[in-house]
Chain A
Amino acid sequence: KQEVTQIPAALSVPEGENLVLNCSFTDSAIYNLQWFRQDPGKGLTSLLLIQSSQREQTSGRLNASLDKSSGRSTLYIAASQPGDSATYLCAVRDPGANSKLTFGKGITLSVRP
């Protein structure tokens, strides 16, 4: 059974700092991995999706990498801003036509002005 872990559960950094959020998964046979953002009282918004054949994806100040063999992914946020404060979740999708996503519990990020 696939398990996804995100440590630490919470992180507080000063504005402007570059930071890395970690995600690990137990079964390396994945179809893709997705990073989401969740603001308080809101649903999840997809940030980046990395296919199993890819190593990284970039969108603006965000860069996500994937190392399947070690069962790890990182989300890099450059020049963090207070508006980046949110909970960041990663999820992996197993292979198979009807496969589902398994989520980590998320990392709650606070960027201090």
Chain B
Amino acid sequence: DAGVIQSPRHEVTEMGQEVTLRCKPISGHDYLFWYRQTMMRGLELLIYFNNNVPIDDSGMPEDRFSAKMPNASFSTLKIQPSEPRDSAVYFCASRQTGGHSSGNTIYFGEGSWLTVV
């Protein structure tokens, strides 16, 4: 498998513009996570889905942020309008439900590096 695939890898946009980040999880994984990483706050969980259904979006910072998962192989994280403080690395990750012995390892994509100027 190619792993978790994210796009774009890098994006520079102007304040006020809409940003859409995309993620393709590993095939067969039923959990999908969106994280944000900054130097100050480290890795923060924004939202996660199970079987395409949002389970916990308490980490989404503001109404400007939204996420969707229309099917098992695709998810988007949208920021509208974007602000300079949204500059960060956004990671998508996925894992597969398993029994106690399976490990339930989570796999991360390479990240989308967002700069809002």
Contacts and interface: CB of A to CB of B under 8 A. Distances in A.
Contact of B56 (A44, A100, A102, A103): A100
Interface residues on A, range: 20 to 34
Interface stretch (B12-20, B62-70, B72-80, B102-110): B102-110
B72 to A, nearest CB: 17
B97 to A, nearest CB: 8
Given A51-B100, A98-B55, A43 B108 contact: yes
Interface in B4-46: 4, 33, 42-43, 45
Contacts of B109: 43
A46 B111 CA distance: 15
A34 B43 contact: no
A100 B45 contact: yes
Contacts of B4: 43
Interface string B74-109: 000000000000000001010001001101111111
Question: Main SS of chain B's interface residues?
Answer: strand
Contacts, number: 48
Given A89-B43, A100-B48, A46 B106 contact: yes
Given A89-B43, A98-B55, A45 B33 contact: no
Interface string A41-79: 111111001010100000000000000000000000000
Contacts of B111: 42-43
B10 to A, nearest CB: 10
B108 A49 contact: no
B91 A43 contact: yes
A57 to B, nearest CB: 10
Nearest to B9: A41
A44 B108 contact: yes
Given A89-B43, A100-B33, A106-B42, A45 B106 contact: no
Interface of B: 4, 33, 42-43, 45, 48, 50, 55-56, 91, 93, 97, 100-101, 103-111, 113
Interface of A: 32, 34, 36, 41-46, 49, 51, 53, 89, 93, 97-98, 100-106
Q: Which are the 5 A-B pairs with shortest beta-carbon distances?
A: A105-B42, A43-B108, A103-B43, A44-B108, A43-B110
